[in-house]
Amino acid sequence: MLALLMIMPVLMQGQVAKYKAVFTLNFIRYIGWPEAARQGDFVIGVLQDSDIARRIDQQTGGKKFGFQTVVVKEFNSLADLTDCQVLFVSDRSGFSRNAAQIKQKLGNNSLIVTESEGATDHGSMINFVVRNEVLKFEIHKGNASSNGLQISSRLENMSSAIVL
Per-residue pLDDT, 2: 41
- The tally of CA atoms less than 13 A away on the side-chain side of residue 7 is 4
Segment 37-59 shows an average pLDDT of 95
Alpha-carbon distance of 101 to 108, in angstroms, equals 13
Alpha-carbon distance of 36 to 102, in angstroms, equals 19
Alpha-carbon distance of 138 to 125, in angstroms, equals 8
pLDDT tens digits along 102-148: 999 997 899 999 999 999 999 999 999 988 888 899 999 999 999 99
Percent of the chain with pLDDT over 90: 73
Overall pTM surpassing 0.75 (yes/no): yes
**Domain total for the chain?**
1
Q: Which residues form the domain of 75? A: 2-163
Per-residue pLDDT, 163: 58
CATH of the domain at 69: 3.40.50.2300
